[in-house]
Structure formats: structure tokens, C-alpha cells
């Protein structure tokens, strides 16, 4: 008998969100071991951000281990699962890799993230659209202060664009010698260096 979706456990719902076209093993979190000499340092903030991501989006990235269940890729995901008391985690056992490949892949996965940067203009557009949709921006992984700066800089840019003087028309309405009434003031269209219309 199928279990109604509304009575599934939080962990079962996470599993349903996970990609199903890979050969994934759901293993106890306690069965996985971290690599003790992992040179990549991981902050508590990073663990919390990944934990939020798992809860909101499900397991969209796996933990990759060697044949001894020592983590190659996914240390932060494993720590996030432990911190949130998630009992089972999706694991791909890369038992086809040589010991040298395991070491290189572990370093490469961490190092490759350093080769990217943000296009701030495009990032602002994405953040503003998410904010307009009412989506909780904490799930972007940015801190509140960073999000505020992105949204404020977008507002400032919009205000600046709105305050820009429009380009002159191709066919001007005002001609030399025209006198305009502007409220209590009058504006004469003339030439500053000309005395044709009297002194200024």
C-alpha cells in the first residue's frame, strides 16, 4: 500500500526529492567516515547553508566515497546531515577509482570552486526576481547583510536611471525666440551671447 504524502517522514520526503537515475545507496550517516587529512577547512556557516539547502531542495548532490566509505566529495553535506540528525544519506561508492585518483578528485572538487566569480549585475537580477516571488532569500546561501546590499544597490540603480534627463527630441518643440510660462516664471529660448532678445 502506498503511503499518503502527508504522513511521510521528513527524511522520506528528502529522499523523494533526490535524483533517482543514479546508482545511489542510502547508507546510515554513521557508516560514512570523513577523510582525516582533508586539507579543506569547513566553517559552521557553510554547514548551516548546506543544511538549509538539503531541507529546502532535497539531496540534489550526493556524497561520494571510496570503497571503504571514506568521503571523497561531500564532507560539508555529511556534516550537515549529522548536525540535523538525518539518519540516511545518499552515497555513490566510487570503487573504480585508483587511490591516486581518489586523492586528486578530492583536491580537484574543492579547488574548482575557486575558479568562479559572480557577475554582480546578473546576480542582482536573480535576487530581485526571487524577492518579488516571495521566496525566502536565506535559501540562496547569502547572509542577510549581503542580500540587503544587493537589493539596495538595485534600488539605487533604478532611482538613478529614473532621474536621468531624457535625450533631446529629434524635432525640438521649442524654437529660438519662444517664451515659455513655467508657473510663476517665464523662460525665453535665446542664445546667451546674442543681444537680439535684449540683455539677460
Number of domains in the chain: 2
- Domain identity same for 29 and 125: no
- Domain identity same for 30 and 109: yes
Q: Is residue 28 part of a domain?
A: yes
- pLDDT for the residue 18: 54
- pLDDT for the residue 162: 55
Domain holding 69: CATH number?
3.90.1530.10
Q: Is residue 94 part of a domain?
A: yes
Residues paired with 64 in a beta bridge? 73, 92
- Domain identity same for 49 and 142: no
CA distance readout (Å), 22 to 26, 28, 74, 91, 96: 12, 18, 16, 10, 16
- Domain identity same for 28 and 105: yes
Contacts of 34 (CB under 8 A, 6+ apart): 70, 71, 75, 78, 79
Q: Is residue 104 part of a domain?
A: yes
The residue range of the domain holding 77 is 7-115
Q: What is the pTM of this model?
A: 0.62
- Crossing angle (nearest 10°) for helices 44-57 and 10-17: 80
- pLDDT for the residue 153: 72
Tell me the mean pLDDT per 10 residues along the chain, length 200.
59 60 83 92 93 93 94 96 95 91 92 85 92 91 90 62 63 72 76 56
Q: Is residue 165 part of a domain?
A: no
Amino acid at each position: 500500500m502506498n503511503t499518503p504524502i502527508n504522513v511521510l517522514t521528513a527524511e522520506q520526503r528528502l529522499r523523494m526529492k533526490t535524483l533517482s537515475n543514479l546508482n545511489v545507496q542510502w547508507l546510515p550517516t554513521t557508516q560514512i567516515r570523513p577523510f582525516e587529512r582533508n586539507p579543506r577547512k569547513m566553517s559552521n556557516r557553510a554547514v548551516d547553508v548546506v543544511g538549509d539547502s538539503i531541507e529546502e531542495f532535497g539531496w540534489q548532490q550526493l556524497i561520494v566515497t571510496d570503497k571503504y566509505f571514506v568521503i571523497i566529495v561531500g564532507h560539508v553535506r555529511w556534516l550537515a546531515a549529522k548536525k540535523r540528525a538525518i539518519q540516511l544519506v545518499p552515497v555513490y561508492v566510487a570503487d573504480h577509482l585508483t587511490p591516486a585518483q581518489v586523492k586528486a578528485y578530492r583536491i580537484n572538487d574543492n579547488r574548482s570552486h575557486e575558479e568562479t566569480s559572480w557577475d554582480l549585475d546578473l546576480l542582482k537580477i536573480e535576487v530581485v526576481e526571487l524577492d518579488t516571488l516571495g521566496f525566502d532569500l536565506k535559501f540562496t546561501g547569502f547572509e542577510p547583510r549581503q542580500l540587503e546590499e544587493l537589493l539596495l544597490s538595485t534600488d539605487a540603480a533604478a532611482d538613478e536611471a529614473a532621474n536621468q534627463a531624457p535625450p533631446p527630441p529629434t524635432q525640438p518643440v521649442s524654437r529660438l525666440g519662444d517664451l515659455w510660462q513655467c508657473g510663476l516664471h517665464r523662460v525665453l529660448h535665446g542664445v546667451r551671447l546674442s543681444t537680439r532678445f535684449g540683455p539677460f
